[in-house]
């Protein structure tokens, strides 16, 4: 086991870029939160958008903290290292989103049902009296382009790093334009005399926050409960499991093999259960060489354990699973 694994050069560069973009995101959010607060008035949609911007601070902060913690080497008290800090950060961000989304949804629905009519007054700007709604809509329009750009960039970085906190942040960034657009529609509706438009927009925004929170909380909990390792977007089983299976099956002393892979947050722990040919135990050198070759298949495979067994349990992952993922690219086996 690599107790303190070092990222390959390409991933180190990707991580540095991800850290920079998270700081850019925090700087942008600081400006956006201040600007929206100054112009939001009594609009429910603007209040919901402002709270969502506040909640958007959680994923980048969680990512930056997790990056520092995950770099710590394993200790006697934490023999598996601190890789789970990524999963914990993911859970914290998800719960924060879900809780506030639920609160906002209830508040917005109550406002919609009770028929609240939020007043939007006028302000004097450089000697001219203008409707405050124009300032609100202008502010929200300014917050649309950068989150879309940040989201697209961070989505690529999350894939390269297999970092689900970064993916959750990117997913929120990409959806932020809907929040801004919903706020603009809500405020514009008030200006057109549609009193319900503001509360309806706030309900839409709250529902979006609640959905983001639910998806991220569910994904974080399943990872912390050691579900089978999946891709960074939780769409399918991660191909590293099958890469290990395919490699071990090329070894002359292996008759059958199955694995179980847990996602420890950016890195994987793999237990490979091997049925030797003719029930003959492999030598220590063969086991150690096979373990090292498996770890060399991918930088994420930091902890690989080989266990010789007589038969394989049904719950383990095999290459012929009906939900088998495509095998990851890997180094050619020295035994082929």
Per-residue pLDDT tens digits for 274-308: 999 988 889 999 999 999 999 999 999 988 999 99
**CATH class (in words) of the domain with range 9-224:** mainly alpha
Average pLDDT for residues 151-174, to the nearest whole number? 88
Measured CA to CA, the distance from residue 112 to residue 195 in angstroms comes to 9
Whether the predicted pLDDT of 265 surpasses 60: yes
Going from N- to C-terminal start, the domains of the chain cover 9-224, 228-336
The structure tokens 């969502």 sit at: 52
Mind listing the pLDDT tens digit for each residue in 306-318?
Answer: 999 998 988 888 8
Mind listing the pLDDT tens digit for each residue in 85-111?
Answer: 888 888 887 888 888 788 878 878 887
- Tokens, residue 148: 């879309």
Per-residue pLDDT, 333 = 38
Q: Which residue has the higher pLDDT, 108 or 8?
A: 8
Whether the predicted pLDDT of 331 surpasses 70: no
In terms of average pLDDT, the best of 2-11, 41-50, 296-305 is: 296-305
DSSP run (H or E) holding 322: none
Q: How far is CA 208 from CA 33, 49, 52, 202, 215, in A?
A: 18, 11, 10, 10, 11
Average pLDDT for residues 30-55, to the nearest whole number? 85
Measured CA to CA, the distance from residue 210 to residue 204 in angstroms comes to 10
Whether the predicted pLDDT of 251 surpasses 90: yes
How does DSSP assign 200-219, residue by residue?
HHHHHHHHHHHHHHHHHHHH
Query: Of 183, 197, 236, 245, which Cα lies nearest the Cα of 51?
Result: 183
Tell me the H-state helices in 162-239: 164-191, 196-224
Whole-number average pLDDT of the chain: 84
**CATH class (in words) of the domain with range 228-336:** alpha beta
């Amino acid at each position: 086991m690599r107790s303190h694994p070092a990222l390959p050069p390409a991933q180190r560069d990707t991580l540095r870029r991800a850290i920079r973009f998270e700081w850019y995101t925090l700087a942008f959010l600081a400006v956006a939160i201040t600007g929206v607060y100054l112009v939001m008035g009594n609009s429910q949609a603007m209040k919901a958008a402002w709270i969502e911007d506040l909640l958007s601070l959680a994923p980048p902060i969680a990512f930056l903290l997790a990056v520092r913690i995950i770099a710590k080497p394993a200790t006697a008290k934490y023999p598996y290292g601190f890789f789970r800090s990524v999963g914990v950060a993911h859970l914290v961000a998800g719960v924060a989103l879900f809780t506030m989304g639920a609160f906002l949804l209830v508040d917005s629905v109550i406002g919609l049902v009770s028929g609240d009519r939020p007043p939007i007054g006028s302000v004097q700007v450089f000697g001219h009296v203008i409707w405050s709604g124009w300032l609100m809509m202008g502010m929200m329009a300014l917050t649309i382009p950068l989150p879309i750009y940040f989201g697209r960039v961070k989505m690529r970085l999350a894939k390269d790093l297999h970092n689900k906190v970064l993916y959750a942040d990117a997913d929120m960034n990409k959806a932020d334009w809907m929040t801004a657009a919903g706020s603009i529609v809500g405020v514009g509706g008030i200006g057109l005399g549609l009193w319900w438009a503001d509360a309806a927009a706030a309900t839409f925004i709250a529902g979006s926050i609640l959905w983001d929170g639910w998806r991220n909380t569910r994904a974080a909990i399943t990872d912390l409960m050691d579900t089978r390792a999946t891709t960074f977007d939780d769409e399918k089983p991660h191909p590293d499991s099958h890469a290990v299976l395919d490699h071990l099956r090329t070894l002359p002393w292996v008759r059958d093999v199955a694995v179980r892979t847990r996602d420890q947050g950016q890195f994987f722990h793999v237990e490979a259960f091997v049925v030797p040919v003719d029930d003959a135990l492999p030598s220590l050198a063969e086991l150690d060489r096979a373990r090292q070759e498996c770890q060399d298949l991918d930088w994420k495979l930091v902890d690989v354990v080989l266990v010789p067994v007589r038969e394989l349990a049904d719950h383990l992952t095999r290459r012929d699973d009906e939900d088998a993922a495509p095998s990851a690219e890997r180094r050619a086996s020295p035994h082929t």
